[in-house]
Structure 1
Amino acid sequence: MKAILFTGPEQIEYTEVPTPTPGPEDILVKVAAVGICASDEELLSGEHPYIKNGNTVYPVLPGHEWSGHIASFGSEVPEGLFTQGDAVTADVTMSCGKCSMCKEGRYNLCTNRGVIGSYKNRAGAYAEYITVPWKHVYRLPEGMSLDTGALSEPSATALYTVKRVGIDPGATVAVFGDGPIGLLITSFARALGAGKIIQIGSWNEKLDISRSLGADEIINYHDEDVVKKIGEATEGKGADIIFESSGNDLAFSQSAEALAPGGKLGLVSFYRKTQFEAPINALITKDASIYGTLASPNTTAPVLKLINSGSVHPEYIITHHFSLEDAEKAFALIRERKECRVKILLHP
């Protein structure tokens, strides 16, 4: 089958690899759409933590945000659960189901986990086919497009973050970052009862999308003092809840300063700098709660229901489509930063 491999830092190869054969408990899926994630960019550049700590090595077959149609089943997939041709997606974390973390339902922390398209080199969906254990597969609701289905994984990541931190009814929420996860967090925060939502980003076009997803106020950090503007929007109190989705050390510092006393800070992005100066005392003196969030355990099924109900609209963030063969052009578009883009989908 045709696939994209990252063969080294900044090296993309469109090539042929063996079509995977499903194991007894696996489902073979023909991929229809796969999203480019910021973590894929980090795998390509060599900056991803999994590359740096040796848990993932080149060559990598990336891609963890995807949808497709079932092509075949393994012999031990429960009969009648799925049908050939079903439109499906899947979790990003493949768990063992046996370790203590799995038994607690926190399979994103499974000690034996694989992560589609990255961790431990689990093959991803930048390819014509992918195999996934049936227990991690979800049928798309009838009528949901495959493009929208491919956004179930980033949507689930955003929903998991919002639910883990918790939205107190009527709370003022600030979201740092106008990338896919930041915009989707805004959408779910609105759906789950936030009062005022403030989106911080760098592209006016993306900030305009955030308004359609539920943001009440927008701040372009190139033009305005972020901490001052959040203070003005909250009558000097600060934001009750802040989600930092940019992975930028300055944004972390601004989040600490802009958080209200007793507030909650959710972190949902890897930081390229593993060590940096930050006003940590601001978080201590505010008696703040800090939440790290990883992946999207137990959230894919709920997110599909929310999307299908019309409560959230992740499809609003799709800005570009490329064939799988043109993946290098898609990454060039991202790197050039000349044209506004949010979510790019590749189509094998």
Structure 2
Amino acid sequence: MSSTMRAFVLTGPREGSVREVPVPEATPGEVVVDVERAGVCGTDVEFFTGEMTYLHQGHAAYPMRLGHEWAGTVSAVGDGVDPAWLGRRVMGDTMLGDRTCRRCRKGHQHTCEQRQEVGIRGGRHGALAERLAVPAWSLHALPDAVDPVLGALVEPGGNALRAARAAGVGTGDRALVLGPGTIGLLTALFLRAAGAEVHLMGLDDGSLAFARGLGFAGAWTRETLPDLPFDAVVDAGGAADLPALAVDLVEPAGRVVYIGLSGRPSLLDSRELVLKDVTAVGVLSASPGLADTIAAYGSGAVDPRPLVAATVGLDQVGAVLAGERHGGPGPKIHIDPSR
């Protein structure tokens, strides 16, 4: 086996290329995964442009290897790892807590102050490569019904599942999702699976038409949004005015869920929360929702495959990060490192 592999290496803002790098080793407690699919995320784009906050906080630095939405097969295990993992199809948690701090001991490793994040934080290499090394404890096995496409959609799906659950709606309720991107559409799919009537609001006619093609007839711009009572509003967008708009649109005693992040601070009048008796929830990370997302995909309760517009090779990662569109109208691009 070759001692090197191909990986996309980001060396600075808008500077990156596919390079030959050393093949990762399965160190004690870790496994090596042959990556079959990896998704390109908005966070990856922020690293590409240099806008990602972690770069300015010291949590990340160039050069770096991106990719935190992935699926693959375990090809090597380190000391202390159950050899039964060999040959298993898996995906993995992005958030890798230190497993010793108070937050980790309470089951909140995704908020660990010392956490690494695969392809994002703390120098942990990502999955835009032929192989990836991760702790065995972070793995989730994939059933046969969850193919590599679905497997690489588990991580964003886990975020969306948590947002949908935080909305607290079901049959007879009406929910509004602000932002019909990948996370917004996934959230809408999970909300619909829970029995809610789901509406989406966006800016782009193309993305709204795509949402309608998924069966969401209530896809609106801000100007055309009907005056309806919404029991929950999920902000999955990136505009600084959306958090306040969510509170304005939600019914009294309803719930607002914040999973989108704007590039600048947003303003929210907490008096509106109090006077409307609104519950506000923030969602960071898919970690607590990964297992249930795999189950939902495996059962067919939620099928996010249409969101993947195209699957391309490592050589096209730079163009994708720069905004080049491929394939169909879906918002997600997948990478097949074997291409």
- TM-score scaled to structure 1, two decimals? 0.89
**For 1:255, which of 239, 246, 254 is the aligned residue?**
246
Q: Which residue identity is paired with 2:259?
A: V
Determine the structure 1 residue equivalent to 2:68: 64
- Count of aligned residue pairs for this structure pair: 333
Contact 1:102 1:110 in 2 (8 A): yes
- Give the drift of 1:76: 0.7
- Give the drift of 1:216: 4.3
**For 1:46, which of 46, 50, 53 is the aligned residue?**
50
**For 1:300, which of 279, 287, 290 is the aligned residue?**
290
Structure 1: any 5+ residue segments left out of the alignment? none
Structure 2: any 5+ residue segments left out of the alignment? none
Contact 2:210 2:330 in 1 (8 A): no
Q: 1:97 to 1:169 in 2, by over 3 A?
A: farther
Determine the structure 1 residue equivalent to 2:278: 288
Contact 2:14 2:322 in 1 (8 A): no
SS where residue 298 of structure 1 aligns?
helix
Deviates most, 35-44 or 97-106:
97-106
Determine the structure 1 residue equivalent to 2:24: 20
Cα deviation digits, residues 199-246 of structure 1 (max 9, x gap)? 11233343344345553411034xx254xx2x2xx2xxx311111011
Percent identical across equivalent pairs?
Answer: 28
**For 1:310, which of 300, 313, 330 is the aligned residue?**
300
Cα deviation digits, residues 118-147 of structure 1 (max 9, x gap)? 111211101111011111111211132211
Determine the structure 2 residue equivalent to 1:206: 207
**For 2:35, which of 9, 12, 31 is the aligned residue?**
31
SS where residue 119 of structure 1 aligns?
coil
Determine the structure 1 residue equivalent to 2:115: 113
CA RMSD of aligned residues (A): 2.1
Q: Which residue identity is paired with 1:85?
A: G
Cα distance in structure 1, aligned partners of 2:38 and 2:116 = 18
Q: Which residue identity is paired with 1:215?
A: F
- Correspondence list, 1:168-187, <5 A: 168-187=170-189
Contact 1:257 1:279 in 2 (8 A): no
SS where residue 249 of structure 1 aligns?
coil
Q: Which residue identity is paired with 1:329?
A: A
Determine the structure 2 residue equivalent to 1:326: 316
- Give the drift of 1:193: 2.8
- Give the drift of 1:253: 2.9
Q: 1:214 to 1:65 in 2, by over 3 A?
A: same
Cα distance in structure 1, aligned partners of 2:206 and 2:224 = 19
Determine the structure 2 residue equivalent to 1:86: 88
Contact 2:48 2:321 in 1 (8 A): no
Contact 2:203 2:221 in 1 (8 A): yes
Cα distance in structure 1, aligned partners of 2:38 and 2:145 = 19
Cα distance in structure 2, aligned partners of 1:121 and 1:290 = 33
Determine the structure 2 residue equivalent to 1:5: 9
Cα deviation digits, residues 12-44 of structure 1 (max 9, x gap)? 222122211111111100111110101111111
